[in-house]
Structure 1
């Protein structure tokens, strides 16, 4: 399925489950395939309508030079929420997908959203004297050149063969070129969402991969301490792509979080 943004970019999304159920909307990280959400979608579909959005310039969405900013992706999310007439939606973002959610809330508040789930994304990517939990060894002395390096595998635990094969097939038919998204990556990495999170008005669950190659999992505990509406969990035997590596555990944690918050 597709819709067109107000700047003329065609955005792909999947929409499964009964339309009268509460909606869960999932956003992959930069360059990641929506196929890696397949098991999570299957689990959530027992109780929820599930939408998975391909951010512009990746997945099945249109390739474009336009909108290489995290704020623009936050706008794209708002347009999809409006296009599908969604309200009281549960938003789940992996990696940059979480930042897209934060960008959306910074622009449009959380009036359409009942809860947020952050899958292994620190609110600040650059380590400095105010923040010890950035992305790998990224700091202001090597920004942005460090982001041009090969970051290696994002996963720790081998993912389901069927999901992996479908993601590989998608990359063959819809190739992703990281160079085309470098400006977006830099804009994403430059952000500091801590002030937004301190004033968050809705519950947020932070799930960190214990074996994430990108972030020290202690960030989840620190972020959860910023707001009494937040909770966290460190997922064992798991890297950065929690929804693909440990979908059952992720699902259980999210359902428990929603139950605890009467959502």
Structure 2
């Protein structure tokens, strides 16, 4: 059996990071993913997750944060490692191992305009183009992780503005689960968590009666984030 006896006998392997960036478009009521047109071969010009090779002075987390900041202008957002993708033949150009991360951001007009500079665009989950390499697998894994985390942690609030309505929150969770949810059951369960503070203002863009704004209780949010909880809406 051959064994590597020194670093000099080992063949270098490229390490990359790929980011699955979720954003909730409140106006359109759609959960979206950020994609960009690949700038290098192979598959130059085709749609891809945003990613990069890891620089020698970077950790994989630092590289993922660099990419997130470049494409969204944001830094203090939800970011979590997804998994490692290391199939020998995953990249036809060379031996490349990718560490995937997924993040959740509040999608507003500045983010929509910024991505255009990088030949990037936001796509609805139901309208994703064919992606390069194993990026479709990464998206599937990230969505599965998001669904599971939404049951156990109040991660959905990372996708909403500071104040929001129950209909907006309801639509967000429908988008996350990709399934119909009973509205009345949802309201009952989400209010029972104690996560929401009802505000005195209303959003009247949808009707004359309007819907009250809510904000999440940060102290309760931190408590549930640390302790975990389980909630099913469907």
> TM > 0.5 between the two?
no
The two structures have a TM-score, normalised by structure 1, of 0.27
Tell me the TM-score normalised to structure 2 length: 0.30
Which protein shows a greater Rg?
2
Give the number of the structure whose residues are more often strand, by fraction: 2
